[in-house]
Structure 1
Amino acid sequence: MDLKQLECFLAVARELHFGRAAAKLYVSQSSVSEAVKALEHALGGLLFDRTSRRVALTPLGETLRNGAAPAIIQLKASIEDCKQQAAGKPRLLKIGFLGGGLYELHQPFVTEAKAAHPEIELEFVELTYVTHYAAVSDGTVDAAFCRLPLGADGLRHGPVIMRDQRMLCVPQDHALAATGLVDPELLAQERLVRMVPGSVNQEWQDYHFPHHTPQGKPIGEGPVIRTIREAIAAVGTKQALLMLTKRAASYYATPQIAFVEIDLPAMPSALVWRADDRRPIIQELNALLLRIGSRYGIAPA
């Protein structure tokens, strides 16, 4: 077996679809199928149950995924580090973000990280509601600035850097647009946009896209969205409402859209990384973010 076979296997294990896995890897579907078959032959058992309707991991496949994924991600990161070093270039550290990311902390963070670690080059990758945790889990980014709680297993987060007032995004002519502070029980009369199923865990969905009010009244189901802009478009066409942070409300100012405060717990954000990633640089960036946030007066005590 080789690294390419394992990469193909992990892509199929994530997507549970050979075609989508091939598209993610920029190879043909037949190449992915052949790689998986070769790996199954080498291991002596099937890694996937395949039917015309679905693809599912076998127990053997689950064992390989759980054991191989962290090692492959770390190996690929080490190979990239070595390539950068051999070329005389700084090591690349990819940081994902959703929406406005670090907002007013972005520039001081980049400046001070570069000064403290000239051997590291930061690359920022914009993520979506669908990918902001998946990209950390699968190694697309080394870490990401995410809204908590953690949206996937196998991850850790640093100290909360921002804790933002929650805002309700509504059409400008909506009855709630003139409300000073929205009672969350009124959401029982509305619909909220919804996440792509399986993109984050239920705890994260319940916090950011709740299905019930605090008193247990059901909230209507709006359209499934993938990006913040898609969600705001759904608000603009009066299909559903959306909850964002106060900083995001300023960042995503849109004609005919209003943002009003809602009486729900604030949205916390922090740096998130893989639990098996023990590189000191991750902790150093966490400490730097906390110092900058405290200096700007926005890091919670």
Structure 2
Amino acid sequence: MHPISTADGPAAPLAPNSRTFARAFADVRDAWHQRELWGHLGWQDIKQRYRRSVIGPLWITISMGTTALALGLLYSQLFGQELATFLPYVTAGFIIWNFILGVVTEGADVFIANEGLIKHLPAPVTVHVLRMVWRQVLFFAHNLVVYFIVLAIFFPALTEPYTMAGDVVGHPGLSWTVLLAIPAFLLVIVNAVWVALLFGIISTRFRDIPPVVHSFINLIFFMTPIVWHVGVLKKVTGGGEDAGWRVLIAELNPLYHFVEIVRAPLLGHTQSWHHWAVVGGFTVVGWALALIAMRNYRARVSYWV
């Protein structure tokens, strides 16, 4: 550090430049090393939410189970789908969507909601993001109970090769490829961190962003193949060119690819590797944007909240 000359006395040292990628990387690295802190805070969030509740976090599982059952029964009739394969499809998709929904909506408010800690706790700002993502992972783990219940009920139908109405190709059924859901979900978590960092910083500066996110995320739910699948687009149009551009619209939805890389192995569906390629591309670009935002505005978050 170079001193600043003053007329009143000794020179004062210059503050190191905080707008560097090294500082941005260091913030993420230091936050990861403080796993005990954000891990404990995430557990406390769950315990506090269900404080004095008789069955506690089981309400998460019950809510997810009733919603998945209702949507599966309704849309299986609307789209003429076999319940034994469509209900697991809706359940797995809705569980994954619930994780994405929590990350996006809470990620936009992550720094605003932690104003007190940011101003009084000397910790990397990424700690608050990891705390929120860890909390959503715990919710996801609770919701997986519903998946295993549905899997146990419809296991015979999912272990044999099957097709869903509108599918061009069949699905091989559940096998060892179900293990691919583990690295797929880890990849989704990696993306969840940059989403919360980027949207959290932008939303802290521009407070209109969180309401916009909350409004549009509900619309995106119906545009994403959660309670319907892409094969339905071909079924209702009878194939041809009309089906082609409708399928293209689904493919242009990035959330579809994030859901599919986890859902396909959980259901024994044919794994399409272009979903992994799209998610990998978003991972690289998203983290680049998040690090740029961290480089330029990380130090201003405590002033904006």
What TM-score range do you get, normalising by the shorter chain?
under 0.3
Question: Structure 1 length as normaliser, TM-score?
Answer: 0.26
* Larger proportion of strand: 1
Question: Structure 2 length as normaliser, TM-score?
Answer: 0.26
- Structure exhibiting the larger radius of gyration computed from Cα positions: 2
* Larger proportion of helix: 2
